[in-house]
Amino acid sequence: MKIKHLLIVSLFSLAIASCTTEVSNKQPNKTPAPVSTSVTASSTQTKPLGQSAESQNSAVIKSGTFVSGEHTTQGTVRITNKDGKSSLELDQSFTTSEMGPDLVVILHRSDNVINSTKPPSYPLKKGDYIVIAPLQKYSGAQAYSIPQNINLADYKSVAIWCRKFNATFGTANLSS
């Protein structure tokens, strides 16, 4: 009898713990969970962006202003080079929707991503882009290292893209 009672209490506790985990996983997240990318993790290390001497000494290679696609996205982006290392930097005014479960920062070959795709999601085709890293946060300044094996001349825009639903949240055409 005692074993049966202990078993019932154990199962009840397990069920409550499972429900608690499930509910907490459904709560809105301010920061997206880390996801794997098509570029190796060692080459996509991120670094904080601020008005440091390091970012002031960087040469701006290309820059652009975001336009909205699937969701409102705004701010500016710049690609910089310092000591032979390239970085993609979103400025303090950057903001995008928190509706995406798997948002990533990509470089795209087209200089007109939004008009070359179809609304409402503005889907992308494989081979037209390369994933740089998962989006760190939905707003504010942030920076991403660009792997050295990427030829920046091949890419004409930056986009915030929801990989799970193939939805382009916004893009920025890059110019020198």
Query: Is 27 part of a structural domain of the chain?
Result: no
Query: Is 36 part of a structural domain of the chain?
Result: no
Question: What's the average model confidence in pLDDT over 49-73?
Answer: 78
Contact present, 138 and 96 (Cβ < 8 Å): yes
Q: Which domain holds residue 162?
A: 41-173
Query: Is 19 part of a structural domain of the chain?
Result: no
What does the pLDDT look like over 111-157, one tens digit per residue?
A: 988 888 888 878 899 999 999 999 999 999 999 999 999 999 999 99
Query: Is 60 part of a structural domain of the chain?
Result: yes
Query: Is 95 part of a structural domain of the chain?
Result: yes
- Give the integer Cα–Cα distance in Å for 167 and 176: 27
- Give the integer Cα–Cα distance in Å for 116 and 100: 21
Query: Is 34 part of a structural domain of the chain?
Result: no
- Reported confidence tier of residue 4, pLDDT bands at 50, 70, 90: low
> In angstroms, how far is the first alpha carbon of the chain from the final one?
78
Phi (first) and psi of residue 141, to 5 degrees = -70, 140
Contact present, 77 and 91 (Cβ < 8 Å): yes
What is the average pLDDT score of the chain? Answer: 78
What letter does residue 107 receive in the DSSP assignment?
Answer: E
- For residue 118, the model assigns a pLDDT of 81
- Give the integer Cα–Cα distance in Å for 78 and 70: 22
| Total structural domains within the chain | 1
What does the pLDDT look like over 83-121, one tens digit per residue?
A: 989 999 999 999 999 998 999 999 999 998 888 888 887
Q: Within a 10 A sphere around the Cβ of 12, how many other Cβ atoms?
A: 10
Amino acid at the residue 79: I
Query: Is 74 part of a structural domain of the chain?
Result: yes
Query: Is 2 part of a structural domain of the chain?
Result: no
Q: What is the CATH number of the domain that holds 91?
A: 2.60.40
